[in-house]
Each structure stands twice: as C-alpha cells, then as structure tokens.
Amino acid sequence: MLKKREKKKFSRQNVKLRNQETNNLDEIEQKEIVEEKRAAKKTRKKMETSSKSDLKLKSGRLIEIMSNYKCLVMIDGEMKICLLSGRLKQLNLETRNLVAVGDYVNIDLAADETRIEEIFPRVNSLSRFADDVFQNEIVIAANLDQVVITSSLFEPELNLGLVDRYLCAAGIAEIKPIICVNKIDLATDQSILEQELAYYRRVGMDIILTSAFTGEGIEELRAVLTNRETVFSGHSGTGKTSLINKLQPGLDLKVAKVSEFSGKGMHTTTSSKLILWDFGGYLVDTPGIKTFGLHKNDKALIPRIFPGFQGYFPFCRYSDCTHTHEEKCAVKEAVENDSIPSERYESYLRIMQSLTG
Ligand SMILES: Nc1nc2c(ncn2[C@@H]2O[C@H](COP(=O)(O)OP(=O)(O)OP(=O)(O)O)[C@@H](O)[C@H]2O)c(=O)[nH]1
Ligand SMILES: [Mg+2]
Ligand SMILES: [Zn+2]
C-alpha cells in the first residue's frame, strides 16, 4: 500500500504528466526534489527570523561550530557550549550549516541544556555554493566587515582565477575584499608578481604582500584588521593560521608542520573559529577550500561586478551586455587594447561558463 506522502507525490506526478506531455519520470522526480527544497528553504527563512517570546532568551555570538548541532557561543564575554534547539535542527534541510561562525544568536538559559533558539538575521555572509544541481549554500562566516582572500605565492601556487571568484562573491555579498599574497619570502623575483597584480592595483583593490616567516607585511595587515570583523579564507596551506599566530603569538593555533608540508593543502584547520584580537576586532580562521562555487542565480551580476569591469560596462552598447558575443562591447575593446589583461578576461569567461545551465 502506498504511504500518504507517496500517494500525494504520485498524484502530483500524474498531474504533471498530463500537463507536460513527457514520459521522463526521472526528470519529473528531479524537478519535484528541487521544488520541495525550495519550499523548505522558504519555511526555514520564515522560521529563522520568527521570535519566541515564552523563553528566557539571552543573546550571544557564535564562536565555533564543534559538531553538527553543538556550538561554542560567547555570552557576556564567557564561552558556553550550546546545542541547536530541536526546532532549528528541523530547519536544517538545505544548508549544510544552518548556523555560521559570526552569527548572533539567542540562547535559552531556562532549559536543562543551553540551547540556541534563534539566529538573528545576518547583516551579510560570505558564502560559496556546492558544485551540484542543488547548489547548497555553504556559509563561510557571517556578519563581516571584510574578507582577506588569503593566497600564497608558492606552495600552493598563486591562483588568480580563485581570487576572481572570491572577488565576485565579495561583490555580490557587498563585503570589502582584501587580497593577501602570503609566503612572499619564497619570491626570487618579486617584479613578476607585481606585474600579475598590477591590474588589481589599477582597479583599486587592496593588496597586502606578507610573510608569516619573516614578518614582512604583518604590520600593514594588522593595521587593516584593527577594530574590524574579518574572515581569512583561501586554499588550504596558504598560511592563514600561520599569519594569525604571527599577528597574535599567544594564540598558538595548529598549523601544518613545515617538515610535513608538501605544498599541497593538508587541511590542518578543520573548523572555523572566531578569534578576538588583542589589538581590537575579530577574525574568523577557516578551513582551506578546494573550490569556490558561485550561484547560478547570480550569473547576471557577474558582468558588472567582475573586478575592474565597473568602469567599462556603462560604455557597452547594450545595458545588459554579458561581454561575450555582443557588438560594441567596451570590455572586449579594453581586452583588445590590453587595458584588461587577457588572463583576467579568460578567467571571467570561465566563471560565466561555470554558471551556465
Ligand atoms: N615559506 C613560508 N611558509 C609559510 C608561510 N606561512 C605559512 N607557511 C607554511 O605553510 C604551511 C601551511 O600553513 P598553515 O598556516 O597551516 O596554512 P592554512 O592556510 O592555515 O592551511 P589550512 O588550515 O589547511 O587551510 C605550514 O607548513 C607553514 O609553516 C610563509 O609566510 N612563508
Ligand atoms: Mg589553517
Ligand atoms: Zn560589454
């Protein structure tokens, strides 16, 4: 006998079959799942912001996600281990992480175990999206002033395509980006790096070159971090945690051992953590990422926010120019006369292509 839920699904599929003249049940099943996920997302959004007035609530800041439903929260300057309430757990249908480091939350102190009952709406968040059909949101950190896109010159080698993806994500989320190129001590000829970075400098990006080993650029980095809420994010092994240890030596956070480090990310930091600077401000250290997926729904924004394109698109013939096939495109003209390096334009095309379909 069919269960109630299956019956409902079966009758919905029949209606679809009649209306759509298609025999492809797999395709219908796929669409059904997508629709169900969308509906769940709506419900979640509604409940996330709903208020529960019958509890003894106290607000705090989420410092670390210890396991799926266990978090460290700072309440009045004190750390408390809190569990996610059953109500919130039920909402965890779509995002891999319902709560994110940096979230402001309401804790129920009256319950036997300290529970997170509410998540305050985020001012912003830096998110990437899973590389599959559902494109689940993976929130890297929430409520930020800026993101330090942490790359390294070598080990792993500088990947400006990834930097472009971060810059697009930061543009979409309206979070200030800062490009940090670490391990500058490994440079044999820094002028090659400067040539690669010249375009970003010209279009007004903040760039800091650092070495967690020699201390180069650390004071400059400290100055931009002071009294700000920042996230360090980038490939594994670029030296995010080493930079943090250099900036605040007492922290003694775990970094990859030099003797064991092969230049490939070892994913030493396994969970994100909010750190309080002794010089003022907060920082979220994050585990290194392999890829940075943008969301297909944001594709239309990329032609406007891709680094350096802002100055050109008003001069394209079409206001919705995608800078690909259109005539009289100011971006393509700038590529032809070398004002925009072809590497950056190719990186742009790769991003656009990845968001197709
Ligand atoms: N030469 C050089 N090596 C560095 C520098 N900063 C970090 N390293 C080395 O790079 C390796 C990785 O450093 P981590 O700080 O663990 O890198 P991470 O970005 O935090 O890596 P994940 O936590 O895996 O994302 C370690 O062996 C560090 O000693 C630097 O400025 N110069
Ligand atoms: Mg680390
Ligand atoms: Zn154009």
Residue 29 is predicted with a pLDDT of: 58
Assess whether the C-beta atom of 156 lies below 6 angstroms from ligand 1: no
Q: Which of 255, 291, 292 to mutate to test the pocket of ligand 1 (most atoms within 8 A of CB)?
A: 255
Q: Is 170 within 8 Å of 206 (Cβ atoms)?
A: no
Q: With 0-12 CB in 10 A as exposed, 13-18 as middle and 19+ as buried, what is 83? A: middle
CB atoms closer than 10 angstroms to residue 117: 21
Residue 277 main-chain phi, psi, to 5 deg: -75, 140
Phi, psi for residue 333 in degrees, rounded to 5 = -60, -40
Q: What is the pLDDT of residues 228-264, one digit of tens each?
A: 999 999 999 999 999 999 999 999 999 988 777 777 7
Q: How far is the CA of 347 from the centre of ligand 3 (A)?
A: 15
Question: In percent, how much of the chain has pLDDT > 70?
Answer: 83
Q: DSSP label at 264?
A: S
Residue with the smallest CA separation from ligand 1 atom 7 is 239
Residue of the CA atom closest to atom 12 of ligand 1: 237
Q: How many Å lie between the centroid of ligand 3 and the Cα of residue 31?
A: 34
Helix (H, G, I), strand (E, B) or coil at 314: helix
Q: Which is the closest atom of ligand 1 to the Cα of 260?
A: 27
Q: Let me know: does 236 contact 247? Beta carbons within 8 Å.
A: no
Sort strands 137-142 and 115-119 into parallel, antiparallel or unpaired: unpaired
The domains of the chain, with CATH numbers, are: 57-121 (2.40.50.140), 126-285 (3.40.50.300), 296-354 (1.10.40.50)
Atom of ligand 1 nearest to the CA of 261: 27
Q: Is the minimum distance from the CB of 273 to ligand 1 under 6 angstroms?
A: no
Please, what is the end-to-end C-alpha distance for the chain in angstroms?
38
How many whole angstroms from 253 Cα to the centroid of ligand 2?
8
Candidates 56, 84, 55, 90; CA nearest to 71 is 84
Mutate which of 183, 242, 269, 286 for ligand 1 pocket (most atoms within 8 A of beta carbon): 242
This prediction's pTM: 0.85
Q: What is the 20 CA–ligand 2 centroid distance (Å)?
A: 51
CA angle 101, 238, 204 (to 5 degrees): 80
Alpha helices in 126-239 (DSSP H): 160-173, 190-202, 218-225
C-alpha–C-alpha distance, residues 243 and 352, integer Å: 33
Query: What is the predicted pLDDT for the residue at 221?
Result: 98
Residue with CA closest to ligand 1 atom 9: 239
pLDDT, tens only, 139-161: 999 999 999 999 999 999 999 99
Q: What is the pLDDT of residues 71-88, one digit of tens each?
A: 999 999 999 999 988 888
Q: What angle do CA 78, 79, 83 make, to 5 degrees?
A: 135
Higher pLDDT among residues 69 and 267, named by residue:
267
